[in-house]
Structure 1
């Protein structure tokens, strides 16, 4: 599955995310966030190596239930899930290698 380019304004319910089979990267952020924009090249590099992983890109904000359920504090935050269970988490990644390493753990 390719890297998702745009943040989804509508988030899936947590129960749906928890039920996803296989490897999933959930990215929380906002399109106007400078840290989020700077992370995109590293994400693209990492997804080039792991194109089979699902990528869900969620526009987060105050009062958004999915982000609060994952206790998101800073953007971007990447949650790496395997069969709906959190395996790793990266906050404000700037380089592809830590992302690829987390992806290897869920692939």
Structure 2
């Protein structure tokens, strides 16, 4: 299920590494214009993969999880399979690009 708000509480890197199956880890903030612009294409692509776990994490200075994943720009979408990064998209605006990344983890 796709979430529409960024969680302030963050999972630990160990919890991310222990995830089973496909997951999307999304870093950003609610006030970020780039993050808002990504939501429509993300929702369109996500509709084809409703079983994928969606972790939407608020990022910013001092936020450990974003630093572990070397996030520099928002939004950053990290596609995981069994806790391992398979694909990464930064500021995506094309639902086809997002769908291709989903296909790598949902297959």
Supply the distance in 2 between the matched residues of 1:56 and 1:42 (Cα, whole angstroms). Answer: 17
TM-score w.r.t. the length of structure 2 is: 0.98
Please list, as runs of the form range in 1=range in 2, the aligned pairs for 1:17-36 lying within 5 A after superposition.
17-36=16-35
Structure 2 portions without partners, runs of 5+: none
* Cα distance between partner residues in 2 of 1:15 and 1:51: 24
Query: Which residue is equivalent to 1:91?
Result: 90
User: Runs of at least 4 residues of structure 1 off by over 6 A?
Assistant: none
Aligned to 2:2: 3
Task: Report the equivalent of 1:52.
Answer: 51
Q: Secondary structure at the match of 2:20?
A: coil
SS, match of residue 102 in structure 2: helix
Question: Aligned partners of 1:54, 1:100: CA distance in 2, in Å?
Answer: 15
- Count, aligned residues: 106
Deviation at 1:100, TM superposition (A): 0.6
Give me the CA root mean square deviation: 0.4
